[in-house]
Amino acid sequence: MRIGKKDIAAGAVFIALIAGFILLVNSLTATSGAQEAQLVEEAVKNAALTCYAVEGTYPEDLEYLREHYKLAYNTERFVVEYDAFASNLMPTITVWERGVRDL
């Protein structure tokens, strides 16, 4: 059996399509992770704001929000950095996906 130029061209197009599909899936997954991290950040911020509205101070740490305001997120997937400078100032909240951090 002889392989012609048309067969090689068809194979190259097929490989290019597969590679494009893989790149598309990877891109969609990365976008989804960034959006989920943003949702986690908003949940932490909302819990902190609720605490401030109810108690008049921002909590010192995330554990307080978990215990008293039922804050929940996937701790195996996301890291939350919660820096409470003062009880009357909104804490700095940073969220990133484990293994994926832009510096």
- CB within 8 A of 57, min separation 6: which ones? 51, 87, 88
Residue ranges covered by each domain of the chain: 5-97
pLDDT tens, the chain, 103 aa long: 677 777 677 666 657 666 665 666 665 555 577 889 999 999 999 999 999 999 999 999 999 999 999 999 999 999 999 999 999 999 999 999 887 655 4
Distance CA 22, CA 4 (A): 28
Distance CA 93, CA 99 (A): 18
Write down the pTM of the prediction: 0.68
